[in-house]
Structures are given as structure tokens and as C-alpha cells.
Amino acid sequence: MSAPAVVLRDISCTFPPSSRGGQPYTAVRDVSLTIADGEFVSVVGPTGCGKSTLLNVTAGLLTPSTGSVDIFGESLSGLNRRAGYMFQAEALMPWRTAIQNVMAGLEMRGIDPVESRTRATEWLSRVGLRGRGDAYLHQLSGGMRKRVALAQILILEPQILLMDEPFGALDVQTRQLMENELLALWSANRKSVIFITHDLEEAISMSDRVVVMSAGPASRPIGEFPIDLPRPRDVAEIRLTPEFLKIHAAIWETMRDEVLKGYQQHERA
Amino acid sequence: MSGHDTLPPLWRLNVYRLALFVAAMLGWHVLTQSKILPPFFFGEPLKVFAQIWKWFSSGSIYPHLAITLLETMLAFFGGTLLGLVAGLWLGLKPTASALLSPYLKALNSMPRLILAPIFAVWFGLGLWSKVALGISIVFFLVFFNVYHGVREVNPVVLANARMLGASKRQLLRMVYVPSAMTWVFASLHNAVGMAFVGAVIGEYLGSVKGIGYLILEAEGIFDINAVLGGVITLTLFAYGLDMIVTWAERRLLRWQPN
């Protein structure tokens, strides 16, 4: 068997206090997590539980205070070159058109511009943006910008996809559309995915496995649930099946107290 | 925004603008002809424009205009380029910028025009002392804007570009510079005017050529009409340069909404 795509071993991240006299903040403590090659794993948890911190560690953007990261059996140092990262916030370059954004990664790798353009055009139509390549970002809707971001990452064919609440800002219909499209793209060419969300339904409907995190600070996984629903799935329809509801109830049982805790901490802060 | 939709169409706006100009000139003319305002101090519009016409038709103003524009351009481009490079560099080097920041702030708050005599001593009464004065003003304008622009780069856009595989140089070219351009253009409008200030004040304080010299000469013989003619000529050219900057801004910042 080949090495797992991602192994997080005893990861802790402590940040220095933001003001003098403040307390250092431990976002996550002793987190161990393994993602198999081609596996779609969602990480859910209450607001402020350090989900993004884990993703930044896996991406190599953040060095953990303790613990280690292995990517396909190799210890990670520096940026994770095998990973594509889809950020929660707008991350595209607004001074570039849609197609120039999709081409950016190829341009950085020194690939011939003509070929880059051909491939970017292909990817734009694959994410449903045929003919919109020359639009600037402010001319596109939020959903379209997410599609551009997706194409920008997938064109580089990363083996690992890191997604930080990528569809959080979208309306429900657009969101389900994007979820289905992501699943279709993923099934065609299975990468390992770490999908961060606070939406349990989204997590269950898309993943092979759901990891539940405790409320922060010093957040850690408190439950893992395999999702053995059949694929291909339609994220809207699958939510109505009894199997889905059973899994949802089981996970929610574990999550409820943590969400409540997270909410109270949020209120206090 | 109720005033927005009642804005008249552009051609009518232009007619109004022209009417405003004619009315102002007419007012000036009537006030000075009737001696309510003494023409000796306030000039006479007809004589002012006659003077401008004479300068341009005889061609006697061209050498002066050429030298002033050359000084302005050199100060503008030189100051902008230096400001851009220094702003990018210091924006990306926190230690160097922490070290230099009190000195830069002190230099910036110094009234730069008092450097004119020093520059005259260093560079003589010719072109370069004026260029140096202009650069000393333009540089700081552009520098501080670029510096802020670099510091204000969206960290998510930056992280995204890094994850896509950008090298340090690519980050500079693809993220920092375009992101700072918004700030640069905000400063360039001021910089154009300031480059003119540097050139003309420099000429005014000591030179043998240029519009500033022309004004100084006219003042020496109490020819207020020629002084005003010089001022109006300068204003027109400064306005023209500002329009070129606006045009470049529209082209380069096409990606921005509106």
C-alpha cells in the first residue's frame, strides 16, 4: 500500500499573545490525522476551533509549534508543493482577468503562454465559465469567482486539495451547485481532499469521512465518522435519505456540546 | 445619491463650464476696466491673453517652456521611479524600514523648498538644480504611497500566490507591484503638480531660462500681465500632464470597478 497523502502527527500550534500581558493562545493541541490517497475528508467544528490552523499547517504556510507533517511519506518543510489551497476569503488577483488568474500557476512554472491559455480555456469551460475568461473579477458574481478559484487550483493538478470553507459565502442554491460540481470533478480524478466547514450537512454529503473537532482553544479531534453513503451523490437529494439523517444524528450528538461551548466562548469574547 | 441622476449630459455640462469661464473673464475685464480693481496690480485679461498669444506666435516662449517641461518631466519620472523602487524595497524589508522610518518622516516633514539654494550650490543654476528640487518633492509623495501599498497587500492574495508556486520575484511582479499601483496613481496626480512647483520655484530663485525665469523677469519690470500670462500657461500645461496621468490610470487600473 502506498503512503497516505497526509499524516499529521501530534500537531500543536501556540501563538504568542497579541498584546503585552496577554496570554499565548493555543489553537490546536496534539492533533493527529491521516488522510489516505484519494480520500475526501471533512473537518467540522464550532467557530474558532482551529480548523484553518490545521489547513495552514498542512499547506506549509504555518510551522506547528510541535509535531510533524508527512506528505506522501516525506516530511514537509516549507510550502507544500503537492497541495492546492482554496481559501475562505477572496484570494484571486483582482488586477487579472478570469483567464489570467487561471493561468497564473502555469505562468509561474514557466509554461509557454500559448499552451497555458489553451489549458486555462479548457478549465474555464470545465467549471462552467466558457466565454467569461476576459472578465475582470468585479464583473463576476461570488459563485463565478469561486469557480475561477477552483480552476486556478485544479489546472495545476495538485495531489492534495485543501479547502477552507470555500463555499461559505455563497447562497444555498449556488452552494449546492458548486458542491455537486466539485464532487463531479473530484470523482473524475480522485485527489485527497481536506474540506473544512462548519456546516455538518455539507460535510456529510460530500465526504468519505467526517472528523469532528472540539471547541477551541486547544482544539482536538473528538470523533471520526466514516460516511459510507453510495456515490455518485447529489448533495441536495442525499440529505433527504434516512441513512443520511441517521449519520447526521450520530455526529450531531457528539458535536452539540462543543458547538454550545464554542458559542459561549464566542459570546464572552 | 439623488444629485447623481439629475446630472446634465456632458455636452451641456461643457457648455456651462465654458459659460462659467467666459463669465469669470468678463467679470475680471469689467472690474479692471472700471478701475474698481487697479489694473496695475490685477492685470487685464485682454492684455494677458494678447501676451500669451505674442509668446506663442513669435515662438519666444518655446525655449523657456521646453526647459521648464523638461525639468518637470525629469523630476516627475526620476522621483516616481526612485520612490517606486525605495517604497517597494522598504515595504518588503521590515528591519530596514524600522531603522530608517524616523529619518524618512523627518525628511518628509522638512519644507523641501528651502533646499533650493543648496541644490543651486551643488548643481549650479542650470537644469539639474531644478530637477533635484522636483525629485526631492516627488520622491516622498510616491515613496510613502508605494510603501503603504506594499504593506497593505491582501495577505490572502499573497498566500494564494505563494501556494500557486510564485517565486520571490514573481510575487513582486504579480502581486506587490500591481497591488501598489492603486496607491501610486493616487500620488501621481499630486506628483505632477509638485514636479512643476519644483521646476518653477527653482527657476524663480535663480536661472537664465524657463517659465519661472520669465515670470521673475516680468515682475522685475512690474509687467503684471506677463506674470499672469506665465501663470496661466503653466496651469494649462500642468493640467495637460494631469490628464495624461488620468489617461494612464484608466488604462492601467482597468481592473477596478468603475
Last residue of a domain, one of A134, A157, A180: A157
**A109-113, A177-181, B5-9, B251-255, range with the lowest pLDDT:** B5-9
**What cell numbers appear for B107 in the block?**
525628511
The span from the CA of B212 to the CA of A240, in Å, is 81
Q: Is A136 on the interface with B (CB under 8 A)?
A: yes
C-alpha dihedral over A116, B173, B74, B191, to 10 degrees? 110
* Integer CA distances (angstroms), A247 to A41, A44, A220, in order: 15, 14, 21
In this complex, do B159 and A87 lie within 8 Å of one another by their Cβ atoms?
yes
Question: Which residue type is seen at B247?
Answer: W
Q: In a mutagenesis test of the B interface, which of A93, A155, A164 is the best target, namely the one with the most B β-carbons within 10 Å?
A: A93
Comparing alpha-carbon positions, the chain B residue that sits nearest to A88 is B156
Q: Is B156 on the interface with A (CB under 8 A)?
A: yes
Q: Where residue A39 sits, what CATH number does that domain have?
A: 3.40.50.300
With bands split at pLDDT 50, 70 and 90, how would you rate the model's confidence at B5? low
Is the preceding omega at residue B111 within 30 degrees of 0, hence cis? no
Domain that holds residue B1: 1-42
Average pLDDT estimate for B212-237: 91
**Under 8 Å between Cβ of B220 and B81:** no
Q: Is B241 on the interface with A (CB under 8 A)?
A: no
The residues with which A68 forms a beta bridge, in sequence order, are A9
**What residues of B are in contact with residue A138 (Cβ under 8 Å)?**
255-257
The residues with which A167 forms a beta bridge, in sequence order, are none
- Taking the CA atoms of A194, A195, A201 and A207 in sequence, report the sign of the dihedral they define: negative
Q: Is B101 on the interface with A (CB under 8 A)?
A: no
In this complex, do A104 and B178 lie within 8 Å of one another by their Cβ atoms?
no
With bands split at pLDDT 50, 70 and 90, how would you rate the model's confidence at B239? very high
**What residues of A are in contact with residue B154 (Cβ under 8 Å)?**
90
3-class state of residue A75 by DSSP: strand
Would you state the pLDDT for residue A269?
Answer: 62
Q: Is A91 on the interface with B (CB under 8 A)?
A: yes
A68 and A190 together in one domain: yes
- B40-83: pLDDT as tens digits: 889 899 999 999 999 999 999 999 999 999 999 999 999 999 99
Q: Does A250 map to a domain?
A: yes
Interface of A with B in 151-190 (CB under 8 A): 152-153, 156
B29 and B101 together in one domain: no
3-class state of residue A30 by DSSP: strand
Within A182-269, strands assigned E span 192-197, 209-213, 221-226
B125 and B200 together in one domain: yes
- A26-52: pLDDT as tens digits: 888 889 999 999 999 999 987 766 888
With bands split at pLDDT 50, 70 and 90, how would you rate the model's confidence at A82? very high
A66 and A25 together in one domain: yes
The span from the CA of A208 to the CA of B249, in Å, is 50
Residue with cell 526620476: B78
Average pLDDT of chain B, as a whole number? 90
Q: At what angle do helices B94-109 and B127-151 cross, to 10 degrees?
A: 130
Would you state the pLDDT for residue A158?
Answer: 92
Nearest to A62 by CA among A51, A49, A73: A51
How many domains, chain B? 2
Torsions phi, psi for B59 (to 5 deg)? 80, 5
Average pLDDT estimate for B166-172: 93
A111 and A78 together in one domain: no
For the sheet with A40-44, list strands across it: A83-86, A160-164, A192-197, A40-44, A209-213, A221-226
Would you state the pLDDT for residue A1?
Answer: 55
Domain that holds residue A219: 6-82+159-268
Q: Is A138 on the interface with B (CB under 8 A)?
A: yes
